Amino acid sequence: MSSIQTVGIIGAGTMGNGIAQACAVSGIRVVMVDVAQTAVDKGLATVAGSLDRLIKKEKLTAEGKAAALALIKGSTSYDDLKGAQLVIEAATENEGLKVKILQQLDGILAPEVIVATNTSSISITKLAAATKRADKFIGMHFFNPVPMMALVEIIRGLQTSDATHDAVKALAEVLGKTPITVKNAPGFVVNRILVPMINEAFFVLAEGIATPEDIDAGMKLGTNQPIGPLALADMIGLDVCLAVMNVYMAEFNDSKYRPAPLLKEMVAAGWLGRKTGRGVYTY
């Protein structure tokens, strides 16, 4: 049983509403806050639609949907977060914005409230240092789509206390997730291994070693991945993959993180993957 009964979420976008759904389905109260009412409404509608799909698949009853939605309160006011034992920041991946939000939360939340960030790339230690509760600050990196993906990376900053780590880990388990504990470092665990693998696939492609289809088939069938690295790059966005490699290159100062020239070239062409209709493949 987690000591956390009410969770505040900042951001009603893809990650925020997914986390809200995971909490509500597990019987935890949620206050989901975004700057605009339209964003809040859209987030709530997304949760309702997602729960409807679960009903169709017979993984949820209509009563279960009603109970879950009743536990989510949408709001545009930070004051509504006062009853939460944990607040998860799931705003846009922008350090300045996140720092501003965290400092706003410091002014509203009681000192014992834990604050987590769902960042996938920003230093937990650095964000913690910008708050007045560095020991109660932690990374809680959910994977998209949140309701389906079992993994949560729990990232300890240098300052994170054991009690904070244990409380957040217990919550992840209540949500039916499998948490892994990670020290703060660029890319944490999954993206640190995944994105260089994608980058290497671009080197292999550029060297003409195999076609994109054969590279992806090889990795799918040879390593049991559900999607090949090049198709995955198109899904993530080639610009995002390149940005991540650039961060690793800057942070580690190690040439093994050199972005593949072909990846840079395709981003320069505006071939970013599914979102632009063309990446490695055409959509």
Please give the model's pTM, rounded to 2 decimal places: 0.93
Residue 1 lies in a domain: no
Q: What is the mean pLDDT of residues 218-223?
A: 98
Query: pLDDT band at residue 39, thresholds of 50, 70 and 90?
Result: very high
Sign of CA dihedral 250, 243, 197, 142: positive
Determine the pLDDT at residue 2. Answer: 73
Q: Is 3 a catalytic residue?
A: no
Answer whether residue 281 is part of any domain. no
- Tally of structural domains, the chain: 2
141 an active-site residue?
yes
Asked if residue 61 has pLDDT above 80, the reply is: yes
What percent of the chain stands above pLDDT 70? 100
Annotation says 153 is catalytic: yes
Q: What is the pLDDT at residue 231?
A: 98
CATH number at residue 118: 3.40.50.720
Q: Which residues of 115-151 are buried (b: 16+ CB within 10 A; e: fewer)?
A: bbbbbbbbbbbebbeebebbebbbbbbbbeebbeeee
pLDDT in tens, 146-174: 999 999 999 999 999 999 999 999 999 99
Which one of the listed residues 2, 89, 141, 184 is annotated catalytic? 141
191 is known as an active-site residue: yes
Catalytic-role residue among 2, 118, 191, 199: 191
- Domain end call among 151, 183, 215: 183
Boundary of a domain, candidates 133, 156, 183: 183
Annotated active-site residue in 118, 120, 123, 184: 120
